[in-house]
Amino acid sequence: AGRFQKEGEYYDKFRLPYTRREEESLVRYFKERGGFKLRRLYRGNRVWQQMESSEVCPGRTWQSMKQRWEKYISKSLDKWEVTAEELEEMDTREGSETGDMDETDSSEDTTTMRGFRSNANYYTSADDEKIVTYIVKNKSFADLGGRSLWQRMEERSVVPGRSWGSLKERFRKVILKKIKDFGLDEETVRKFLSKTHKTRLNTA
pLDDT at 70: 87
Q: d(Cα 187, Cα 62) in Å, to the nearest integer?
A: 48
Average pLDDT of span 143-154: 92
Question: pLDDT band for position 121 (50/70/90)?
Answer: low
Average pLDDT of span 73-99: 69
Residue of higher predicted confidence among 39 and 117: 39
Q: For residue 106, is pLDDT > 80?
A: no
Q: For residue 102, is pLDDT > 80?
A: no
Q: For residue 21, is pLDDT > 70?
A: yes
Strands 9-10, 5-6: pairing is antiparallel
pLDDT in tens, 36-78: 766 665 456 778 888 888 888 988 898 899 889 889 998 888 8
175: nearest Cα among 188, 161, 192, 158: 192
pLDDT at 200: 52
Q: d(Cα 95, Cα 65) in Å, to the nearest integer?
A: 27
Sequence-distant (≥ 6) Cβ neighbours of residue 124 within 8 angstroms: none
Count other C-beta atoms under 10 Å from residue 101's C-beta.
18
Question: Quick one: what percent of the chain has pLDDT higher than 70?
Answer: 68
What rounded mean pLDDT belongs to the chain? 74
pLDDT at 202: 55
Question: pLDDT band for position 108 (50/70/90)?
Answer: very low
Give the pTM: 0.48
pLDDT at 50: 83
